[in-house]
Amino acid sequence: MDNRISNYVDQNLKLIRWAILGIGIAGVTLIVKNTHMMSTFSRASSVPESFIDKQISLYGKLMSVDQSGFLNVAHTPAVSSSWFSRRKDEDSHLKIKLVGVGHTDRSLQWLRQNLVGRRVFFKMLAREDPDILMCIVKMQRYGVLNINLNVYLVKNGYATFVPSPVLTGNTSYDALSQQLRRMEIEASGKTGFFGWLWRLWVGK
């Protein structure tokens, strides 16, 4: 009996190896699919609530900036697959709001001239409504360095700081809002006595 089993294994060793490999690949693919690593999100409402609760960061290509300052981003999945990650609606993109940023004509112009067509990373803090994600966005420079876009726009005077009371208590937002307040003071040139009055007024 043992000899027959041994002979069978020897004769079908290649087939057994391929079967084990196939089962392994199928298992990994199933795990990746169930964790949405291959999913392409084309609308804010399609992003799992667990992603937002955990403040997971995603990335994609900035396609356009509308007049209200919302970033329209074509999401790129963590694992690319022509089968699982094919986009159902080529014209649908994630609508992203830069948390704490009050846009001006200068900020809109800067974004359109410098960032459209480039890759951005966005950390999701909350959903403002089913179609809008409230995010901290980072951009790449020199292929390596990530720059906080929310801070960059306020620090350089392109935009103003606008509080988001609904996010108060969120650790990431609280840290960002304190930084944006400081950046706005610096950008406005409020120093010395007037700077002290400004910090007193904004509660910083």
pLDDT value of position 40:
86
Q: Pairing relation of β-strands 132-141 and 94-98?
A: parallel
**127-158 pLDDT, tens per residue?**
998 899 999 999 987 766 689 999 999 999 99
Give the lowest-confidence range in 38-52, 70-84, 142-156.
70-84
Residue spans of the domains in the chain: they are 1-34, 40-199
**80-136 pLDDT, tens per residue?**
655 444 545 556 799 999 999 999 999 999 999 999 999 999 999 999 988 999 999
pLDDT value of position 125:
97
Residue identified by tokens 């069978």 is 8
**What is the Cα–Cα distance from 102 to 119, expressed in whole angstroms?**
22
pLDDT value of position 18:
60
> Cα Rg for the chain, rounded, in angstroms?
24
pLDDT value of position 186:
86
Query: Model pTM greater than 0.95?
Result: no
Q: In the structure encoding, which two tokens stand for residue 29, read together?
A: 């693919």
Evaluate if residue 69 carries a pLDDT over 90: yes
| Helix (H), strand (E) at residue 71 | strand 71-76
Fold for 40-199, please state it. OB fold (Dihydrolipoamide Acetyltransferase, E2P) (2.40.50)
Residue identified by tokens 């509080």 is 163
Q: Residue 174 carries which side chain, given as an amino acid letter?
A: D
